[in-house]
């Protein structure tokens, strides 16, 4: 980390990096160290919005803040959920632009400069997620064989960027109403949906790489996959409510066929991980269809 004597917490801030953290003591040091190793000609800060951690996350952030005044810890424990924590982080951030990343990932070399420069020319940006550096080999193909090396879309209808690697000007974030704090997952896709509906362009910045960390157990992978699946029918319903095209209600049926055909792959650890992702997402879609009252299997 840079020498603390070179840092000024009262410097003019152009870019605020907002991190929602919950029980991230095991990983957040790596992320903060990666951020503090970055160089950019503009003023920047890191705001960690702690969502009620009990594992030493706060202490880890406080230690880093004592070394570098650009790091600030914010208590966002009044309501559970990453969307709320990120909103609170933006409220307290000093920057005119905001970049979001996660406490369990690691930003790549040059990420901050790529995001900061991009946000100077356009109000809404995202970048790629690299899936191998932080994960064991048996997890590399868990979400398919191609990592997120290009702009992602929701069923080919609109572009979105994950909250693990998303940049936005503060003014636009405020106009959009921030993240929907009622959502426990999919809040990033929902934000991008609202931006798309008002005609905003999401620019893809190839140099803004984030190294993404998967869940390390099959139970954790299952829970995350179910949550992702739950969010899909809700987003589809919100598209339908504004009269926009929606994904086929039955598009997910092919996943159930895939699960049956891939039962033999359960013999390998990698095969089990991939199978659990697809199964969890499929179950999540059923749950989400019931909750949102919109069929999207």
pLDDT in tens, 76-109: 999 999 999 999 999 999 999 999 999 999 999 9
Residues 268 and 182 in one domain: no
Which has the higher per-residue pLDDT, 177 or 5?
Answer: 177
CATH number at residue 138: 3.90.550.10
Residues 86 and 58 in one domain: yes
50 within domain boundaries: yes
Residues 52, 75: Cα–Cα separation, whole Å = 8
Q: Residue 10: is its pLDDT beyond 70?
A: no
Residues 16, 19: Cα–Cα separation, whole Å = 10
Which of 251, 257, 272, 124 has the alpha carbon at shortest distance from 198?
124
pLDDT-based confidence at residue 4 (cuts at 50, 70, 90)? very low
Which of 5, 177, 161 has the alpha carbon at shortest distance from 91?
177
Residues 161 and 231 in one domain: no
pLDDT digits (tens, 9 = 90+) for 211-232: 999 998 999 999 999 999 999 9
Domain boundary among 176, 211, 246: 211
252 within domain boundaries: yes
Residues 183 and 230 in one domain: no
Q: Residue 2: is its pLDDT beyond 50?
A: no
Q: Please count the residues of the chain.
A: 297
130 within domain boundaries: yes
**Phi/psi of residue 220, nearest 5 degrees:** -65, -40
Residues 46 and 67 in one domain: yes
Residues 169, 152: Cα–Cα separation, whole Å = 20
237 within domain boundaries: yes
Q: Which domain holds residue 78?
A: 4-211
**Phi/psi of residue 165, nearest 5 degrees:** -160, 75
Domain boundary among 178, 211, 244: 211
**28-37, 61-70, 249-258, 277-286: the lowest-pLDDT one:** 249-258
Residues 193 and 271 in one domain: no
The pLDDT value recorded for residue 84 is: 98
The pLDDT value recorded for residue 1 is: 44
Read off the tokens for 57: 């996350």
Find the DSSP H helices in 103-176: 111-121, 170-176
**Phi/psi of residue 102, nearest 5 degrees:** -110, 155
Residues 196 and 242 in one domain: no
51 within domain boundaries: yes
- Burial environment of residue 187 by CB neighbours within 10 A (0 to 12, 13 to 18, 19 or more): buried
Read off the tokens for 218: 């099959």
Calculate Rg over the CA atoms of the chain: 19
pLDDT digits (tens, 9 = 90+) for 282-296: 999 999 999 999 999
Residues 242 and 172 in one domain: no
Domain boundary among 170, 196, 211: 211
Q: What is the pTM (predicted TM-score) of this model? A: 0.93
297 within domain boundaries: no
Overall domain count for the chain: 2
Average pLDDT value over all residues in the chain:
94
Name the 3-class secondary structure at 18.
Answer: strand
Q: Residue 7: is its pLDDT beyond 90?
A: no
Residues 105 and 233 in one domain: no
Q: Residue with structure tokens 């008002």?
A: 198
Q: Distance of alpha carbon 176 from its chain centroid, rounded?
A: 18
129 within domain boundaries: yes
Residues 207 and 228 in one domain: no
Give the other-Cβ count within 10 Å of 173's Cβ: 23
Residues 116 and 149 in one domain: yes
Residues 142 and 82 in one domain: yes
189 within domain boundaries: yes
Which has the higher per-residue pLDDT, 6 or 161?
Answer: 161
Q: Residue with structure tokens 């870019």?
A: 15
């Amino acid at each position: 980390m840079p020498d603390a004597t070179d840092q000024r917490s009262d410097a003019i801030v152009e870019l605020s990096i907002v991190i929602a953290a919950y029980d991230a003591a095991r990983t957040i040091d790596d992320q903060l160290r990666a951020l503090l190793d970055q160089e950019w000609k503009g003023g920047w800060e890191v705001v960690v919005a702690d969502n009620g951690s009990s594992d030493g996350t706060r202490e880890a952030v406080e230690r880093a803040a004592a070394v570098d005044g650009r790091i600030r810890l914010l208590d966002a424990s009044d309501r559970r959920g990453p969307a709320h924590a990120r909103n609170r982080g933006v409220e307290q951030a000093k920057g005119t632009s905001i970049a979001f990343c996660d406490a369990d990932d690691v930003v790549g070399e040059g990420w901050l400069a790529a995001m900061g420069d991009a946000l100077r020319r356009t109000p809404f940006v995202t970048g790629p997620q690299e899936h191998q550096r932080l994960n064991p080999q048996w997890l590399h193909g868990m979400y398919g064989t191609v990592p997120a090396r290009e702009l992602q879309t929701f069923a080919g209808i609109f572009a979105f960027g994950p909250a693990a690697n998303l940049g936005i000007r503060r003014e636009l974030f405020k106009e959009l109403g921030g993240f929907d704090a009622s959502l426990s997952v999919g809040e990033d896709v929902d934000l991008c949906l609202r931006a798309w509906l008002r005609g905003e362009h999401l620019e893809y910045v190839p140099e803004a790489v984030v190294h993404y960390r998967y869940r390390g157990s099959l139970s954790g992978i299952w829970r995350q996959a179910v949550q992702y699946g739950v969010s899909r029918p809700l987003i589809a319903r919100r598209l339908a409510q504004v009269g926009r095209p929606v994904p086929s209600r039955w598009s997910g049926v092919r996943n159930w066929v895939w699960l049956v055909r891939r039962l033999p792959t359960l013999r390998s650890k990698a095969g089990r991980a991939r199978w659990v992702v697809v199964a969890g997402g499929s179950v999540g879609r059923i749950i989400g269809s019931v909750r949102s009252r919109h069929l999207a299997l």
